[in-house]
Amino acid sequence: DAGVTQSPTHLIKTRGQQVTLRCSPKSGHDTVSWYQQALGQGPQFIFQYYEEEERQRGNFPDRFSGHQFPNYSSELNVNALLLGDSALYLCASSLDAGSSYEQYFGPGTRLTVT
Amino acid sequence: TQLLEQSPQFLSIQEGENLTVYCNSSSVFSSLQWYRQEPGEGPVLLVTVVTGGEVKKLKRLTFQFGDARKDSSLHITAAQPGDTGLYLCAASTGEYGNKLVFGAGTILRVKS
């Protein structure tokens, strides 16, 4: 039973560039959430996708956008990268029908903006 | 202002000692989760508590949800070096209940 997978593992980009991160949810899960974790902090909620639509969004600018595909996998896109976007980007999957709101995280993508 | 306040921020103890980590808030939550995260990895779910006053045990780890569902604690008995990591509490919020808000975490270091 495959858990949550993310790609790439590491990424180095330059200010102003655009980046796409990918996530495959745990088998049987239909909801994907994205989080940003800066060094020494807890993860911060970016947004959540369900039924191929953005359902909830945190306090992140429109430079952060996403997509969910029919197979429930998801992408996170960040445009016009800033130095402050350097962080560990985590994808978490869950089952919308679940009553305990448990989310399972992938290993993350470490993004460095120079 | 952090919705969830974790304390202490950092804990360094000897193998075999006991410890307690706290997660406090002024808000009421439908559920609260504890995660453990190692450097360069994603958080791993340890437990979910949903009922006020609930106590759950996972081997040497004991988790408690406050009666008013505003706070939680994690107690580790006879800590081992393998317990080293970042411990995060997270609360379910949002319209659909599955938007997680995290505390800043407690870094635990267990020395052998």
Q: Which residue has the tokens 């994603």?
A: B42
Count of other CB atoms within 10 angstroms of residue A40? 10
pLDDT digits (tens, 9 = 90+) for B36-64: 999 889 999 999 998 999 999 999 999 99
Q: Cβ of B103 and A101 within 8 Å?
A: no
Q: Where are the beta strands (DSSP E) in chain B?
A: 5-7, 10-14, 19-24, 32-37, 44-49, 55-58, 61-65, 71-76, 85-93, 99-102, 106-111
pLDDT of residue A100 exceeding 70, the answer is: no
Mean pLDDT of A6-19: 97
- Mean pLDDT, chain A, integer: 93
The whole-number pLDDT of residue A89 equals 98
Q: Examine residue A61 and say whether the peptide bond preceding it is cis (omega within 30 degrees of 0).
A: no
From the list B71, B62, B64, B1, the residue with the least C-alpha distance to B29 is: B71
pLDDT of residue B92 exceeding 90, the answer is: no
Q: Least CB-CB distance to A101: which of B31, B95, B105?
A: B31
Task: Please check whether residue B54 is in contact with residue B65, taking contact to mean a CB–CB distance below 8 angstroms.
Answer: yes
Give contacts of A105 with chain B, Cβ < 8 Å. Answer: 35, 42-45
Minimum mean pLDDT range among A91-95, A107-111, B61-65, B73-77:
A91-95
